[in-house]
Structure 1
Amino acid sequence: MNQTNPSLQTQTILDQADRIKFLVFDLDGVITSEQKYWNTARLTVWELITQPEYLGLTDYFGPTQPHQVLTNGQQTINNDFIYELKRRAINSNWDLTYFVFCLHLAGILQQLQHQDLEEWSSLNHKIDLANSEQWQLLRRSLQDLEFDPNVSESTIAQFWQETTDLKGSSVTEYVRPFYQKHLGISLPETHSDLWNLCYQNFQAWYEGRKGFTLPDDETVLDVYQIRTILQILMDADRFTLAIATGRPRNEVIEPLTALGLLSFFDPKRIVTYDEVLAAEEQLKATSCPIKLGKPHPFVVLKALHVDEDPQRFCTEAFQKQERTYAVYIGDAASDVVAAQRSGCISVGVLTGFTASRAKAEQVQMFSNLGCDRVIESIQALPQVLGIEPT
């Protein structure tokens, strides 16, 4: 694969483009916008910190209603934070939600530590929010005290400084030693009851079960433009189009159907979080537990080898096979890493990053990762693949 520094001036034909048979697309940031997911994460974190059944710090972020959270979302999770997560190859919006909540909570607990020794001691150096009684205990410790959300921002900045060299799951896993180091508190394992609570509340907000309806999924380009590009790729009669995403299956099928895009993709090669969970359960039964979300190459390999045993996807020998007959198109560091670990060609698009970042910085991030090509959007794919305009 080409490992030269990509730039927007190198939208030339990929090396050996005539050998490419599979185009595997990530969804968010490539076809659909991630805005709905980011807003869902913001609502979930806001709920856990401000609502009376959880921490009850009513005006911690300022907004007191869901629609205000969306308008002023930067106070809960700002775009720089999201960009940093994507740059660090963290792909899961559920992990994002859990992660942000834990860091905001660390900032709150640091203030409690300095304000009220008696209430601080009552926590017994352990946070395990597994049931309503434990939320009540923590809420009681926080009541009648003043908290500054700027301390949370300082805590988050401190966390990033301490994890400069970490990527992927190593970043989120550092939350536990971070709590131990700065607060002397034991935090539960990442996929604990607290993580599951974040997941369940996230899904409830996303699916409209909290009495508030989020705006529907948007696309990163006009849907007509996307449909035109996919049709050009299909009409070339050279490619099978696939999807490899961290979204649950119903959150892939429903929006793509509504947008009139689903029929472009081979239904056997639409790989989602549902397949990840099923494979993880299968591997757990064989005493080989492993997390298969990106940047692990599972979703990409599954899209290419639909009938292969998931255990093979976990072997280094299988992952290292050359698959330059396939391209994985994504918008984040985790996509590039997954493509590389699966032996595929990586193409990075710039439609998924937050507008607060300069394009040159985004291109440089892809370049540093060794991405094979960087393009503005999937509109450049025909040129990159050497498809003559008709």
Structure 2
Amino acid sequence: MIKTILFDVDGVFLSEERYFDASALTVWELLHNKLYLGLPGDEFTPDPEEEVIRRVRRTVFAEDQVLDFIKSRGINSNWDMVFLAFSYQLIRLCEKLRPHKPEQVEAILQGPVDRAELNQLGEWARQYEPDFALDFAAFTADFAKSNVQKSELLLYLNELAKEHCQVETSQFSRNSQLWALCQETFQEWYLGDGRVASSIGRETQQPGKKGFLTDEIPIVEPAKIKEVLRELQEKGYTLGIGTGRPTIETHVPLAELGLLEHFDPQRVVTASHVLQAETAFPEKAPLAKPNPFCYVKGLLGLQQSDEQTLAYPLPIANGDEVLIVGDSLADLLAARAIGCRFAATLTGLSGQAARSKFEQEQADYILNDVSEILTIL
């Protein structure tokens, strides 16, 4: 009998569209803003019109084919998506620049990559390869040559660097300076100038970003979801959250929609908690989904230490008492690792098209949207 229900947020309560928009804009900025690579070919602005946002996303994610591929391989973090998409273009740029600056490009690929290195590569690109053409669709074809899944996708960038640039490196990983740069730049876009400092500990590098946090799109009408959550509480279920969003990006929109109050505060686990655990236990990283850490933490409660959470024996003995509700393969894999039940919602990026995938993976339940959860309890 189910006693605890742990929900994902994106693709369950809130649309992922603005997250994907911010991801595409982050890649766009890293490529075209002179604070970073500053490649010619597109005029960068920190305050793009909606028409520009739509164009950038179509271009950077190749009509969402890149997004579909990344999510199909078990990646659920927008930070990882940005890192993958940008790093791939960076490798292809280095491939073009290596004949002009062989030793220098090799040194950059083998050492930590931060703003200074991107500035240098951008300068060489403008000098030696002014007509360099970004090929965003090539991402899927290159990664499809391998069978790597989940966090291995990030490490596979090292193999692509060797293939395209003949350089042995281990710099492409979630613990790299480049990954942190991608993560912080994404936060600038999503939170905007007014909120970013509280998230990453500094003001935005590029002022002028409004942010998307107050422009969230609920998947189901908030009053309807609020009633569903209230009924679940009345029936005695303990409700929690396990999300790839940082804390501020979880609390603010859910509070504004009147939903946050229905969850046990000790069971609202976010990417901020995941990053904290990765910092304390780097040897355990990555802990983002599909790693079950955030859901195990939600099951045990925030009062449990990260050490206790990481040591908790899996699969759990009382798996039938826990239900995870999510929209992605990463959520399903996390539930499987825990040994609990899983309900898939068909409100993620792929929509109804995801049904066959969840049927193939034998999800316990498949819901058109989260409001149907009462029908399976």
- Normalising by structure 2, we get a TM-score of 0.86
State whether structure 2 residue 158 is matched by structure 1 residue 158.
Answer: no
Mapping 1:35-184, distance limit 5 Å: 35-60=17-42, 66-67=48-49, 68-72=51-55, 73-77=57-61, 78-112=63-97, 117-119=99-101, 122-124=104-106, 126-127=108-109, 128=111, 130-144=113-127, 145-149=130-134, 151-154=135-138, 156-163=139-146, 165-184=147-166
The aligned amino acid for 1:139 is: G
The aligned amino acid for 1:47 is: E
The DSSP-based 3-state class of the residue aligned with 1:220 is: coil
The aligned amino acid for 1:258 is: E
The DSSP-based 3-state class of the residue aligned with 2:137 is: helix
Distance in 2, matches of 1:99 and 1:52, equals 21
Distance in 2, matches of 1:319 and 1:283, equals 21
1:259 to 232, 257, 260: 257
Gaps of 5+ in 2: 194-206
Name the CA shift for 1:178/1:242 in 2 (closer, same or farther; >3 Å): same
Distance in 2, matches of 1:277 and 1:122, equals 33
Q: Larger RCO: Structure 1 or Structure 2 (Cα < 8 Å, ≥ 6 residues apart)? A: 1
Distance in 2, matches of 1:132 and 1:296, equals 30
- Residue in structure 1 matched with residue 269 of structure 2 by the alignment: 271
- Conserved? CA contact 1:129–1:193, under 8 Å: yes
| CA shift for structure 1 position 320 | 4.2
Mapping 1:1-390, distance limit 5 Å: 19-60=1-42, 66-67=48-49, 68-72=51-55, 73-77=57-61, 78-112=63-97, 117-119=99-101, 122-124=104-106, 126-127=108-109, 128=111, 130-144=113-127, 145-149=130-134, 151-154=135-138, 156-163=139-146, 165-185=147-167, 186=169, 188-190=171-173, 191-209=175-193, 210-215=207-212, 216-235=215-234, 237-284=235-282, 289-306=284-301, 307-315=303-311, 317-354=313-350, 359=352, 361-385=353-377
- Residue in structure 2 matched with residue 12 of structure 1 by the alignment: none
Distance in 1, matches of 2:293 and 2:115, equals 37
- Conserved? CA contact 2:40–2:126, under 8 Å: no
Quote the sequence identity (%).
28
Distance in 1, matches of 2:38 and 2:44, equals 13
Distance in 2, matches of 1:161 and 1:130, equals 25
Q: Which moved more, 1:290-299 or 1:274-283?
A: 274-283
| CA shift for structure 1 position 45 | 0.7
The DSSP-based 3-state class of the residue aligned with 1:347 is: strand
Name the CA shift for 1:263/1:80 in 2 (closer, same or farther; >3 Å): same
Name the CA shift for 1:279/1:125 in 2 (closer, same or farther; >3 Å): closer
- Normalising by structure 1, we get a TM-score of 0.83
Name the CA shift for 1:131/1:374 in 2 (closer, same or farther; >3 Å): closer
- Conserved? CA contact 1:51–1:58, under 8 Å: no
Gaps of 5+ in 1: 1-18, 386-390
**RMSD across aligned C-alpha pairs, in angstroms?**
2.3
1:145-180 CA-to-partner distances (Å, cap 9, x unmatched) read 21223x3422x13322222x2211111211111111
The DSSP-based 3-state class of the residue aligned with 1:174 is: helix
Instruction: Report the number of matched residues.
Output: 352
1:317-343 CA-to-partner distances (Å, cap 9, x unmatched) read 443433211110000011001111112
The aligned amino acid for 1:174 is: Y
- Residue in structure 2 matched with residue 7 of structure 1 by the alignment: none
